[in-house]
Structure 1
Amino acid sequence: MAGRRDLNREPCPDRILDDMGGAFGMGALGGFLWHFAKGWRNSPKYEKFNGAMFSGTLKSPAVGSAFATWGGIFCAFDCTLAYARGGKEDSWNPVLAGAATGGVLSMRSGWKSCARNAVVGGVLLGIIEVVQIMFLRGTPTITPRKQFQQMKEYEEMQQRQAQAGSSPSLWSRLLPAAPAAVPQSQPATELLHDSATLR
């Protein structure tokens, strides 16, 4: 699988807490909506909203905690694999981390369940990584090298303007540069006059 590193994410080990918080928020929101709908459906006719709110607020923290547990263990395995492979971060790390997470979370159910959930976790993360790679290939992205080149060109332009004694104004930074003037061709009468004088 193709190697890549997401520069928008926090570095390890700070990434673990970041992913745990994001997973908790996503699980709590999704759990609230899910149990709100179930509470609305199972409540009496004139108590649907109260029953839905009670069900959603009661069970959403448990769903968020389960998501946070999964996200923390997954990210811990991901950072461990990246460290064990010499800082290499590619698509194999999430796949192996997903398999390890699925196996660890189901160890209490026996080895068969542990192996089955490990395979399921690895396959799911593999599908997610393949979809992500296909999406990134279909969209134009600015690589860190291109970003560095753009920053270097901008710094060189500022140095040239500073040496020339002029600093770029706000409008020159926001507005695009004006196109260069196109030289107009001489009229036919002037060309005839020039040819006559040469003779």
Structure 2
Amino acid sequence: MGLIGGGVFQSIKGFRNAPSGMSRRLVGSLAAIKQRSPIIAGNFAVWGGMFSTIDCALIHIRKKEDPWNSIISGAATGGILAARNGLPAMAGSAFIGGVLLALIEGVGILFTRLSAEQFQPQPPVFEDPSQLGQQSGGYSFQ
């Protein structure tokens, strides 16, 4: 996912920053893909691995699997990966990671509730028994 997303982003960036001329722009696009996409893919893999490790550890420690595990994992991952940049950057990245994962979990819960409503059984519709003997076509069986 990181490789594909990074490849698309870097191809556009390389195309825009290359000298004029279609062939030069395509070469610049490919050069940017080869140069930066592996780095983006590696960073994405590190983030995903750390997030999953913290998430699984929280599930094991807390003995429950709920949205709080993902929110805490996102905050912890953001903070740990920004630790080399100092405490303010670490706190900011932890906050952003927690908020981002809270939004993702909230949207997931919303879609789950919306889709669950369509699968609830509907009460059957019965005809009124007092109306069974009457017909509106003019014919009567009296």
Instruction: Tell me which interval the TM-score lies in, with the shorter structure as reference length.
Output: 0.7 to 0.9
Q: What is the distance in 2 between the residues matched to 1:43 and 1:114?
A: 35
Q: Deviations over 1:157-178 (max 9, x none)?
A: xxxxxxxxxxxxxxxxxxxxxx
Q: What is the distance in 2 between the residues matched to 1:89 and 1:109?
A: 32
2:106 pairs with one of 130, 133, 146 = 130
TM-score, structure 2 as length reference: 0.77
Q: Which runs of 5+ in 2 are unaligned?
A: 118-142
1:85 pairs with one of 54, 57, 62 = 62
- Equivalent in the alignment of 2:80: 104
1:95 pairs with one of 53, 56, 71 = 71
1:52 pairs with one of 29, 36, 51 = 29
Post-superposition offset of 1:138: 1.1
- Equivalent in the alignment of 1:121: 97
SS at 2:66 equivalent: coil
Q: Which runs of 5+ in 1 are unaligned?
A: 1-25, 142-199
2:51 pairs with one of 49, 74, 88 = 74
Q: What is the distance in 2 between the residues matched to 1:30 and 1:77?
A: 24
TM-score, structure 1 as length reference: 0.56
Q: Deviations over 1:18-74 (max 9, x none)?
A: xxxxxxxx1111111111011111222141111111111221111000000000001
Q: What is the distance in 1 between the residues matched to 2:54 and 2:48?
A: 10
Q: What is the distance in 2 between the residues matched to 1:136 and 1:108?
A: 38
Q: What is the distance in 2 between the residues matched to 1:51 and 1:114?
A: 35
Aligned length: 115
Aligned-residue sequence identity (percent) comes to 43
**Which protein has the larger Cα radius of gyration, Structure 1 or Structure 2?**
1
